[in-house]
Structure 1
Amino acid sequence: MRLPAVILAGGQSSRMGGGDKVLLTLGDRPMLAHVIARLAPQASPLAISANGDPARFERFGLPVLADSLPDHPGPLAGVLAAMDWAAGLGFDAVLTAAGDTPFPPDDLATGLQAAAGPRGLALAADLDQGAARLHPTFGLWPTALREDLRAALTHGQRRVRQWAAAYQAGTALFQGAEPFFNINTPDDLTRATTLLRGLSDTAR
């Protein structure tokens, strides 16, 4: 089943001089453009979760969803914005992906849906020295739980993994060459450029 997806783009690049990390250039285009290109074939419609002036994302032609709660309570608030947006469009669930992770799996949507737990939640994971390592900003979220999440956020819940575990989230395991490599530092951006070249060579 094709579902909508929201890119969580609220992180500030404090270790890279500030500003919107997802707008940093990777290769010949913004990091966010790489995420959109990966998600567009597998999810529709797409939107961006971010606070502040939405005009800075105008070039991407996607809706920009601000947090519905004050004081920027973190990624879970972005998940809630995604759930509210998807519910308004009539969808039963929504996918989320991190905007600073430019090479998410091509089968992210199908993998998350296949791994959904009894309440319909799933989180992505890869292998780290043989053990599953969760990447909780990549998830499948049923819109029926949005009021539960709103209440949890109001009462101070901030941890994506902890909230999802309370609803028996399934784990979707993805393998391959660092499918959830994320960019936090200038060195990470340099490494991502090398990874991008490798992906481009493979695609030729």
Structure 2
Amino acid sequence: MKIAGLVLAGGQGRRMGGADKALMQLCGRPLLAHVLARLAPQVAACALSANGDPARFAAFGLPVLPDSVPGRGPLAGVLAGLLWAQGLGAEALLTVPVDTPFIPADLAARLSPAPAAAAWGEARHHLVALWPVAFAGSLAAHLAGPGDDSVRRALALAGARYVAFPGETDPFLNLNTPEELAAAARLMPPC
């Protein structure tokens, strides 16, 4: 199965002082670099979902996909990614937030077949998901109308199941504050 990968940049982190999360430094490298190092070996191609000036990501050499439906949150990025993946001939799209630098090296394999999303303990990580590219039309129709923009709802519409990832530490730990970024640095191999 051909899988494409999409990193959801998520814009500026309010609790990170308004800085661009994708470019926040963790052990001397941007968060985006850490996520790509784990994601790229698992997929045929990678892109970045981000709004604003794409030139700020030029050093990464990735397609930068703006939201396909402005104002509809992360699902607009997922839809843009599904349409991009469709153009590549991929059958599925693996999405991960840019602030999750510890995603497993076998994430795509463990989530296959699509649709599926990750879980750790009681936590559901809705944006760590494998989406069937064929869901693009249904998602576009959902976003064309009023209603629930939650990723959880979209996963339910797609018929996704949750896959449990065991371990003492949440591999989908997301970094939303300077304190969480500092704690993550202590979890990394020596920087």
TM class, shorter-length? over 0.9
1:187 matched residue in structure 2? 179
Give the equivalent residue in structure 2 for 1:75: 74
TM-score for both structures, normalised by structure 1: 0.88
CA distance in 2 between counterparts of 1:14 and 1:191 reads: 18
The runs of at least 4 consecutive aligned structure 1 residues that moved more than 2 Å come to none
CA contact under 8 A between 2:51 and 2:66: conserved in structure 1?
yes
| Residue 116 (structure 2) aligns with | 122
Percent of residue pairs bearing the same amino acid type: 51
CA distance in 2, matches of 1:169, 1:54: 31
- SS of the equivalent of 2:110 reads helix
**What displacement does 1:74 show?**
1.0
Letter aligned with residue 148 of structure 1: S
The number of aligned residues is 189
Please, what TM-score do these two structures have when normalized by structure 2? Answer: 0.93
Q: Does 1:37 align with 2:37?
A: yes
Please give the per-residue CA displacement for 1:122-165, whole angstroms capped at 9, x wherever unaligned. 111111xxxx4210101111111111101111223310011211
Q: CA deviation at 1:2?
A: 4.2
Deviations 1:44-78 (A, max 9, x none): 2011000111000001111101111123x211111
Q: Secondary structure at the match of 2:142?
A: helix
* Contact 1:126–1:134, Cα closer than 8 Å, also in 2: yes
Unaligned runs of 5+ in 1: none
Q: Which runs of 5+ in 2 are unaligned?
A: none
**Counterpart in the other structure of 1:151:** 141
Equivalent pair of 1:121/1:168 in contact (CA under 8 Å): yes
CA contact (8 A) 1:105 1:174 kept: no
Is the 8 Å Cα contact of residues 2 and 42 (structure 1) preserved in structure 2?
no
Report the Cα distance in structure 1 between the residues aligned to 2:11 and 2:119, rounded to whole angstroms. Answer: 20
Match of 1:19 in 2: 19
Q: Deviations over 1:165-202 (max 9, x none)?
A: 133211121123220111101110110111113xx59x
